[in-house]
Amino acid sequence: MKIRPSSKQFDHLIANLSRQSAQHGFVKIRKKFCDYMASLNAIVLLPVCVDCHSHECHVFGQSIEPPDISEYTWKEDLAWEVGLTEYEIRQIDERIKNGGDIELRCGKCSNLLEYGKDNFYVESEPFSEYFSIPESTHRAPSKQLREEIIKLYGQRCYRCSEKLSKEDVTCDHIIARVHNGLTSSLNLQILCKNCNNKVKAGRKTKIINVNLTFLFRPPPHDFYEEVMW
């Protein structure tokens, strides 16, 4: 399943957040779209300039395809390639016409890109890589990671919502380690002991794919007061 949250829900300010804040945002997105048996696969969509894309193609011996976002058809391309809504595209267009700042930058070299003037590409990067979130193959989370997970989930069981003491918390791998699940804040949830036993008895984890498109849209005017995930 693939979902693209709207700009007012979650993803428009993620690029400016710290890793810790990004982890909080990830959990909020997961609470919106995933139950305790679902893993959230969040993908950050990046604008990439022609020079950077051409360099990558040269390094890996790949042919250069036409740009995903054309200077001539950028509105249609944003809808098709990125998934922006008609309203979001209209907002961008109005801001450009009014001389407003879009601050669209290449995800590789940070060079400024302009809608209607530059061709560029759309590449994807896993949430964990974009925010440098540690992932491990260790069986159990460290004490520090355990404390982070408890805080991220508000010390409540993700299945039954019961408030737990730290002694009653169990850290559960959403994708089980036997299925190559990693020990990471993105693949751990807290469950009470009773729910954990029930989950392990018949676990069939589904994957929910979410594309985050915040890099393609200008932040809202009330930049700090409307930080929403």
Kindly report, residue by residue over 108-148, the tens digit of the pLDDT.
Answer: 999 999 999 999 999 999 999 999 899 988 888 999 999 99
Give the per-residue pLDDT at 16.
Answer: 45
Strands 38-49 and 206-212, sheet pairing: parallel
pLDDT confidence of residue 219 = 65
Q: Are 60 and 44 in contact (CB under 8 A)?
A: no
**Model confidence over 134-193: pLDDT tens digits?**
998 888 899 999 999 999 999 999 999 999 998 899 999 999 888 889 999 999 999 999
Residue 189 token pair: 């949830």
pTM check: above 0.85? no
**Cβ atoms < 10 Å from Cβ of 74:** 23
Whether 75 shows a pLDDT value over 70: the answer reads: yes
Structural domains of the chain ordered from first start: 2-130+209-216 (no CATH), 143-204 (1.10.30.50)
